[in-house]
Amino acid sequence: DICGEPEFMEKMEAIYHEKAVEKGSLVVSACGFDSIPAELGLMFNSRQWVSPAAPNSVEAYLSLESDKRIVLNFGTFESAVLGVANAHKLPELRKSRPKRPRPVIAGPPPSKGPMVEHQKAIGLWAVKLPSADSTVVRRTLSALTENPHGLPGVDENDGQIERRKNFWSTVKPAHFGVKIRSKSLLGIIRFIIFGLFLGLFGSTAFGRWLLLKYPSIFSLGWFRKQGPTEEEVRSASFKMWFIGHGYSGANLASQLGN
């Protein structure tokens, strides 16, 4: 499933998890363009913190690049609109299910910081991206808290079990967030305006109709109903930077957390 709608993903898990376990099937959500790199990037960054060092937070910075105009798929836009539309259902769904364990993260939660950030080290401006990626990462870390050695596979041999345990034991939990970057402050303002349109119109049926009817207008040209052309696809790429913050030792994390 490549959608980016947290409410849909968690609803499908609630409905099909037990059936999947019974049948030995794997239901994999969030297989879209940024969710997989986000999660793999978090895992890679967290594994670089060799004990006694421990991560506290990892932030991903997403950059969309192209020699031509950036045009994204309409399905991505539709997922964003539906994600806003169903956001109010997510707390109700979570309350109806057993509470998931929270991972133990070294140190206190990071501060929210400014709305717009200037990362001089990598030469970019950034603003928080309210995507499903943070939710996806939190779900994985919660599952890892329940299963510290990872989820067992069907008919694993001894070697596979050993590799699974060795890998997942090196993944450390951390607070995670995603920001979208731009080389200019003007680009960030454009992101913010698009986000305001999405939040304002996505909460009502008529607003959603307008958004989905005229995606190019309300996304300021980033989305088109017909999607990008083959030439635009070939010229486009994306990069993600993962910047981790943490502690050199558990004692320091404990002192700062008190």
Residue 78, domain extent: 6-150+161-257
Q: Is residue 156 domain-resident?
A: no
Are residues 46 and 172 in contact, defined by beta-carbon separation less than 8 angstroms?
Answer: yes
Per-residue pLDDT of the chain (258 residues; tens, 9 = 90+): 777 778 888 888 889 888 888 887 877 888 877 788 999 999 999 999 988 899 999 999 988 888 888 888 888 898 889 888 888 888 888 888 888 888 999 888 998 888 898 877 767 899 998 878 888 899 899 989 999 998 887 788 999 999 999 999 999 999 999 999 888 888 899 999 999 999 999 999 999 999 999 999 999 989 999 888 899 889 989 889 999 999 987 666 666 554
- Among 217, 225, 202, smallest CA distance to 85 is for 202
How far is it, in rounded angstroms, from Cα 167 to Cα 145? 14
How many domains would you assign to the chain? 1
Q: Is residue 233 domain-resident?
A: yes
pTM: 0.84
How far CA 46 is from CA of 25, 34, 39, 102, 174, in Å, comes to: 28, 18, 11, 17, 7
For residue 98, say if its preceding peptide bond is cis, omega within 30 degrees of 0.
no
Chain center to CA of 180: 12
Q: Is residue 1 domain-resident?
A: no
How far is it, in rounded angstroms, from Cα 101 to Cα 139? 10
